Structure 1
Amino acid sequence: MTAQHPAPRPARPPGGNKILVVLLVPLFMSLMSVSVVNVALPAIEGGLNASSADLQWVLAGYALSFGVVLVAAGRAGDLWGRKPIFIAGILLFTVGSLASGLSVDPLMLNLSRVVTGLGSGLLNPQIIGIIQNVFHGRARGRAYGLFGTVVGLGVAIGPTLGGVILGALGPEWGWRTTFLINVPFGVLSAVLAAAWLRPPARVRSEEARRSLGALDPIGAVLLAAAVVCLMVPFILPGTWLLLAAAAVLLAAWWLWEQRMKSRFPATGRAPMVDPALFRIPSFSYSTVATAFLLGAMPGLWAVQAIVTQQGLGYSALAAGMTSLPTALAVMALSPWIGSHVHRRGPLFVVAGAVLALGAVALGMVAFHQIALGAWPFWTLALCLFPFGPAQALLMTSSQVLTMHEVPPHAAGAAGGVSQTAQRVLTATGLAAVTGAFYASLAASGTGAAPGGADVTAADAAAVAVAYGEAADTALLVVMGLLAVTLVAGVLDYIRRYRGGTLVLED
């Protein structure tokens, strides 16, 4: 690799701040659409007379439709331009949010959530592709730093905002407003995207020109079916045989993509995902690192919320305040990390993984000591706080490293693959962590939360200890997932150290 560039180009494009606003507001909306709804589920249950299965599909329908279209949407952006796909995704997301807020029964709500997830799946890969194509050098790192900030903000403020809305408007209009609040922002985002996003240059690579009519529908269907079969068993119990079907479908998809690649010179029809993408070490290592981080995070915070409220008897507000400092650290540090990632990115990943493991270990100690009554409750927030800087280091750096060596014409498909891996690991990781938690709790014979007139202080203490021990078991699974992130980061660091590429070149 030489230090010469084919042509000078500004690191930060004209109107860069406007572009970031257009990209990051819909990203925030798509994250909020998950975190806000978690708080609104009890109100939805009462307002629509929804069953537990209905409520499960409020979350699952969004997650499945989101994950299914990511790769195909990314490839469509590569071929047909990211701006129109991005705007279409915003509009679909907005329509789904409007229909969700106006739902008259659980079926309408769940179908609307599927539409919302499809819109989110269309727009998310375009965000990464546009950042990758428009920003360069330190400006790209800054953009991904702000990307991480928005992720942290969406995760942190969602439950709090949902609680405020429900408290101010009451259960009926409260849960509806958690969906309807997306509508004005969605309309505004679509208008600004149409005005501020420039269409891509008309000059495309030979592969892209010859592939404009070839989205690889067979590959798209095979991968979508595989993703569904991978995710459903972790959403609906008793469907584990679908994992075998997922393995078969993934193998069939891989063979099909290889066939499409080999026949490309004769047919001009490119595969949806070029198999060569997985031979880019930075892409593979960083995709694994990010996916397993996102496999660990939801389980960590789910256990924290369950133990805080059901095991220790604190309020939902207390549970939210415990995680808030961690999220604020993500928001504060991500921009700085983004501006330095090109010099220290590989080291940031390793440091972030080590720090995350340390934070979870401290969390295990805190849960145990608080359950025994030896430590005050606020020490939990203190012990988990290092997870915030760790998340900022990992998310921002891994995002830059994932896309660093990906050709511009494949950025959308690469972003779709990376985000699909994240969605699958999020579902499987959450199921594994919470499964370990409830298995430990069941083994202890504890099922009741402390509180109520019939519960003695001794009973409450026993429940707290059982929940604390279950949390320790679950967090061992979290640490196992984070260990994979650490291994991927270390392997990439060693590779770069040997190759003299620790400092990234744009």
Structure 2
Amino acid sequence: MSAAQTPQPVDAAENRRRWQAVGVGLVAAFMTLLDVSIVNVAVPSIDRALHATPSDLQWVLSGYALTFGLALVPAGRFGDARGRRNAFVFGIVLFTATSALAGLATSPAWLIAARLLQGAAAGVVNPQVIGMIQQLFRGPERARPFGLLGATIGISTAVGPLLGGLLIAIGGEEHGWRWVFFVNVPVGIVAAILGWRLLPGRPHGQPGWRRLDPVGVLLLGVGVVLILLPLVQEQQWRTPWKWALIPAGLAVLVAFGLWERRYAQHREPLFDLRLFSFQSYTLGSLIALVYFGGFTAIFFIFTLFLQNGLGYSALIAGLAITPFALGSAATAVLGGRIVNRFGRPLVAIGLFGVVLGLAGTVAALHLAPHAPAPWVTAGPLLVAGLGSGLVIAPNQTLTLAQVPVPQAGSGAGMLQTGQRIGAAAGIAAVGSLFFSSLADSHGNWTTAFEQSLMLATGVIALALIAALVDILRTRNHAEH
């Protein structure tokens, strides 16, 4: 495998077309990632409209994340082999159709089935966006589109509750939740049409079909499901035996790695393990996994704290998270542009900013317990958002910098699979502490939120330590 190729000059028309393709990809990524968090604020309305049980609601939220993570690597590999445009358009069409089905649901089972398919469709789309950037841009010029993608990831995750609150306020408590899904339909139709027109097809000279390693797909799928299931069902499955699924899943993933190494001797594997020989890919994947373990959980517990604990509306709860989203948007684009100059230290600065902002959020609530929570947390969350923008996009750029274009889709898929596993583990761990602390403190929502937010902050601090270790090791190698 070779390192990233030297950028070649492109004419104005070709440059305009590739940025149009990136624009379509970013809209699709925003739409699919938004559905990770936007449904949280709709849960009370869904509960009332469909008479759903707690287990039903958990599957509405977690089923999406489960099938999302399951589809990422096989879909990325399919895009590498058959062309990213085909996979992208198929994923968008499926996502649009299942969004409409979710909005039309008349029973919990119907809604859960639609969400499972919707998550799988999102898992098909996202690796194609990253693979497309890898294919259309070379070397340092990838930093800007990855910066925009990082901003999209950060904003979509943080702004989901706000948009959900707005749609419910407009559509009404009874039917507003349906618009959370219906809003995807017109956007998806336009994205599918433009994606077919603008995204690159299969490169000339690339084989039309490569075997997609069905045994590898099966082993990876079983391993990911075994790890994710006890995490996404943490509140519903009370038996401690559920945690036995995680070591079982890890064992299956070890078998997957052994199979891939053997399979690669004769054919193109589902995932090329040699990517982990690149320090940038290995460390960046680890940082992403750990960071998403703390990052995603923040919005889960903050929404519960504001709505269920303090009685704020879905709209106000969404607005309270907006400072984080704005900060992340502001620095993600900047981070993408300067990451080639500063490298991993930029990610470390961002992680420090997130830790500082979240610790400040806890301090603000503790020092001003009677002040309106959305106001006292706005400043610290803005600092955390500014830091987050310097983490996601730059880390993604550094992680994928040496990944060859033929492995771009599967490499991006594995990176995002780690993010989904990290997010599920973080929500399970932080959410578990939140609910247990709520019970121990006899319903003190502020105490529960502060303790669980400190755990999320500690998880992100682990990612900061990993980045600092890499910086020190790199500096020592340079000196010797």
Match of residue 341 from structure 1? 339
Match of residue 275 from structure 1? 273
User: Are 1:492 and 2:467 an aligned pair?
Assistant: no
Shift of 1:498: 4.7
Q: Secondary structure of the equivalent of 2:243?
A: coil
Q: How far apart in 2 are the matches of 1:421 and 1:3?
A: 23
Shift of 1:346: 1.3
Q: How far apart in 1 are the matches of 2:393 and 2:59?
A: 31
| Equivalences for residues 391-402 of structure 1 within 5 A | 391-402=388-399
User: Are 1:405 and 2:402 an aligned pair?
Assistant: yes
Match of residue 163 from structure 1? 165
**Native 8 Å contact 2:162 2:321 kept in 1:** no
**Native 8 Å contact 2:130 2:412 kept in 1:** yes
Q: Alpha-carbon deviations, 1:340-376, whole Å to 9, x = none?
A: 11111311111111111111221221222233x4897
Match of residue 72 from structure 1? 74
**Native 8 Å contact 1:138 1:338 kept in 2:** no
Residues 375 and 61 (structure 1), Cα distance of their counterparts in 2 relative to 1, 3 Å cut: closer
Runs of 5+ unmatched residues, structure 2 = none
Shift of 1:183: 1.0
**Native 8 Å contact 2:328 2:389 kept in 1:** yes
Please report the TM-score for the alignment, with normalisation by the length of structure 2: 0.92
Q: How far apart in 1 are the matches of 2:307 and 2:7?
A: 58
Q: How far apart in 2 are the matches of 1:61 and 1:436?
A: 22
User: Are 1:247 and 2:225 an aligned pair?
Assistant: no
- Number of residue pairs aligned between Structure 1 and Structure 2: 470
User: Are 1:41 and 2:43 an aligned pair?
Assistant: yes
Shift of 1:311: 4.2
Instruction: Out of 145-154 and 225-234, give the one that drifted further.
Output: 145-154
Match of residue 454 from structure 1? none
Match of residue 446 from structure 2? 468
1:201 to 181, 203, 223: 203
Shift of 1:148: 2.0
Q: Alpha-carbon deviations, 1:261-293, whole Å to 9, x = none?
A: 2x32xxxx2221111111210001111112211
Residues 65 and 329 (structure 1), Cα distance of their counterparts in 2 relative to 1, 3 Å cut: same
- Aligned-residue CA RMSD (Å): 2.4
Match of residue 387 from structure 2? 390
Shift of 1:36: 2.1
| Equivalences for residues 362-381 of structure 1 within 5 A | 362-371=360-369, 373=370, 378-381=375-378
Instruction: Out of 87-96 and 174-183, give the one that drifted further.
Output: 174-183
Instruction: Out of 305-314 and 279-288, give the one that drifted further.
Output: 305-314
Q: How far apart in 2 are the matches of 1:115 and 1:127?
A: 19
Specify the code of the residue in structure 1 equivalent to 2:323.
Answer: P
Residues 166 and 8 (structure 1), Cα distance of their counterparts in 2 relative to 1, 3 Å cut: closer
Shift of 1:378: 1.9
**Native 8 Å contact 2:6 2:139 kept in 1:** no
Q: How far apart in 2 are the matches of 1:386 and 1:354?
A: 10
Specify the code of the residue in structure 2 equivalent to 1:223.
Answer: L
Q: How far apart in 2 are the matches of 1:376 and 1:242?
A: 39
Q: Alpha-carbon deviations, 1:183-222, whole Å to 9, x = none?
A: 1111111110111112142134xxxx5x933111111111
Q: How far apart in 2 are the matches of 1:90 and 1:5?
A: 30
Match of residue 458 from structure 1? none
Shift of 1:314: 4.2
Match of residue 289 from structure 2? 291
**Native 8 Å contact 2:365 2:376 kept in 1:** no
**Native 8 Å contact 1:356 1:391 kept in 2:** yes
Q: How far apart in 2 are the matches of 1:438 and 1:4?
A: 47
Match of residue 256 from structure 1? 259
**Native 8 Å contact 2:74 2:410 kept in 1:** yes
Q: How far apart in 2 are the matches of 1:375 and 1:7?
A: 52
Q: Which has the larger radius of gyration?
A: 1
Q: Alpha-carbon deviations, 1:383-435, whole Å to 9, x = none?
A: 22211111100011101011001111111111010000000010001111121
Q: How far apart in 1 are the matches of 2:7 and 2:258?
A: 38
Please report the TM-score for the alignment, with normalisation by the length of structure 1: 0.87
Residues 111 and 309 (structure 1), Cα distance of their counterparts in 2 relative to 1, 3 Å cut: closer
Match of residue 61 from structure 2? 59
Match of residue 455 from structure 1? none
User: Are 1:432 and 2:429 an aligned pair?
Assistant: yes
Q: Secondary structure of the equivalent of 2:170?
A: helix
Q: Secondary structure of the equivalent of 1:273?
A: coil
| Equivalences for residues 96-175 of structure 1 within 5 A | 96-175=98-177
Specify the code of the residue in structure 2 equivalent to 1:169.
Answer: G
**Native 8 Å contact 2:162 2:317 kept in 1:** no
Q: How far apart in 2 are the matches of 1:367 and 1:497?
A: 39
Specify the code of the residue in structure 1 equivalent to 2:448.
Answer: A
Match of residue 479 from structure 1? 457
**Native 8 Å contact 1:219 1:253 kept in 2:** yes
Match of residue 456 from structure 1? none
Instruction: Out of 304-313 and 22-31, give the one that drifted further.
Output: 304-313
Shift of 1:156: 3.6
Residues 415 and 201 (structure 1), Cα distance of their counterparts in 2 relative to 1, 3 Å cut: same
Shift of 1:500: 5.5
Q: How far apart in 1 are the matches of 2:4 and 2:315?
A: 54
Specify the code of the residue in structure 2 equivalent to 1:215.
Answer: L
Q: How far apart in 2 are the matches of 1:361 and 1:4?
A: 39
Residues 468 and 42 (structure 1), Cα distance of their counterparts in 2 relative to 1, 3 Å cut: closer
Q: Secondary structure of the equivalent of 1:293?
A: helix
Q: How far apart in 1 are the matches of 2:160 and 2:58?
A: 19
Q: Alpha-carbon deviations, 1:121-165, whole Å to 9, x = none?
A: 101001110011102345421111111222233234322222222
**Native 8 Å contact 2:25 2:129 kept in 1:** yes
Residues 377 and 199 (structure 1), Cα distance of their counterparts in 2 relative to 1, 3 Å cut: closer
Q: Secondary structure of the equivalent of 1:143?
A: helix
Shift of 1:5: 6.4
Match of residue 16 from structure 1? 18
Q: Secondary structure of the equivalent of 1:355?
A: helix
Q: How far apart in 1 are the matches of 2:317 and 2:277?
A: 43
User: Are 1:301 and 2:299 an aligned pair?
Assistant: yes
Specify the code of the residue in structure 2 equivalent to 1:226.
Answer: G
